[in-house]
Amino acid sequence: MPSYEDGLGMERPWEKYNFTTLIIGDGVKSIGANSFSECKSLSTVIMADSVETVDSSAFSNCTNLESVKTSENLHTIFNYAFCGCKKLKNIPVGDSVIVIMKHAFDETLWLENQGEGVVYAGNVTYCFKGSYPSVIRIRKGTTAIADKAFTSGKTKTFILPEGVSYIGEEAFYASAIKSINIPSSVNNIGYDAFAMTFSPKIYGYRGTYAEKHCDNFIPIDFLIGDLDKNNTINIEDATILQRCFAEYIYFDFDIIKNNLLADVNYDGVADINDVTEIQKILAGFDSEKN
């Protein structure tokens, strides 16, 4: 489906019709830019599973659009694709979606209805609402960080799980970020993802995308939190660290001082909060909203 460049006077053949339901037929791989923007009567969109991308502003300002049935093969949603769809209650983001670009779902009922904390669109971290905590742990199963997800945010430390493959453009632009771990699964970091920040520490494993493409990279040669070095994190590690800070036992304080093995929450300081973080990991607790 072709793109219709905004402002160039390109007439869309369906523009004169007041239709309420749109069915994108099988064989269509891309819904072009501005294809259905400003279609005020449109309320329902049904996509065939052949659709892989929704281009910029494809449905922007469709103010009566309420429901979108997505394609199981949709992987990229471009800038402003559904922005301004004020009645949109559900969003077309299935497990296949990896890339969500700038403002794709801004000014929608879906976003308005999201609670405070990290907002997820499917398996993609879309944005944050409310007061920023000092540490955000992105939940397990997340596959990507959307463009501008934490732009101008106040959180200093981010913890990403394995499985995240993409960090979007300007994801942390002009934010207060000081440290982040980048999993070995990350294979693409968008333009200006960390621009206008104060050179955050980037923790990661050797030979990964992060080591090749990130400034201030700090290699991890061990499993952070594995204080007894048995290649797993368990309750014994929490106990060791807790007793260490209570000065019940001697521990390798050079490691503590250097904020490496014991800095489980990557905040640049090894302290009692890391004990809590180990306990959260063991409990399967997601702390992104706490």
One DSSP character per residue, 262-275 reads T-TT-SS--SHHHH
271 pLDDT more than 80? no
Domain ranges of the chain: 1-113, 116-221, 235-283
Element (H, E) at 69: strand 67-69
The DSSP secondary structure of 77-135, one letter per residue, reads E-TTTTTT-TT--S----TT--EE-TTTTTT-HHHHT--SEEEEETTEEEEEESSPPSE
- Give the residue among 260, 269, 166, 242 at the shortest CA–CA distance from 210: 166
Q: How far is CA 9 from CA 6, 12, 34, in A?
A: 7, 9, 12
Tell me what pLDDT residue 232 has: 78
Return mean pLDDT, the chain. Answer: 86
164 pLDDT more than 50? yes
- Give the residue among 289, 6, 282 at the shortest CA–CA distance from 128: 289
Classify domain 1-113 by CATH number: 3.80.10.10
Tell me what pLDDT residue 182 has: 93
What is the pairing mode between strands 117-121 and 44-47?
Answer: unpaired
Enter the tokens of residue 133. 């905590």
Q: Pick the range with the lowest mean pLDDT from 51-60, 115-124, 131-140, 146-155.
A: 131-140
Region 159-188: what's the mean pLDDT? 94
Tell me what pLDDT residue 109 has: 97
Give the orientation angle of helix 272-283 with respect to helix 235-245, to 10 degrees: 170
Tell me what pLDDT residue 14 has: 73
Length of the chain (residues): 290
- Give the residue among 229, 284, 279 at the shortest CA–CA distance from 252: 229
- Provide the terminal-to-terminal Cα distance of the chain, rounded to the nearest Å: 43
Scanning 194-271, the segments in alpha helix (DSSP H) are: 209-213, 235-245, 253-257
Region 191-198: what's the mean pLDDT? 96
Q: What is the pLDDT of residues 210-259, one digit of tens each?
A: 999 999 998 876 667 777 777 777 888 788 777 776 654 444 444 444 44
94 pLDDT more than 60? yes
Q: What confidence tier does 287 reach under pLDDT thresholds 50, 70, 90?
A: very low
Tell me what pLDDT residue 6 has: 54
Enter the tokens of residue 64. 């009566």
Stated pTM of the model: 0.78
Burial class (CB within 10 angstroms; exposed 0-12, middle 13-18, buried 19+) of 222 = exposed
Cβ 214 vs Cβ 204: under 8 Å: yes
The DSSP secondary structure of 125-194, one letter per residue, reads EEEEESSPPSEEEPPTT--EE-TTTTTT----EEE--TT--EE-TTTTTT----EEE--TT--EE-TTTT
**Share of residues in the chain with pLDDT > 70 (%):** 84
Tell me what pLDDT residue 98 has: 94
Tell me what pLDDT residue 282 has: 79
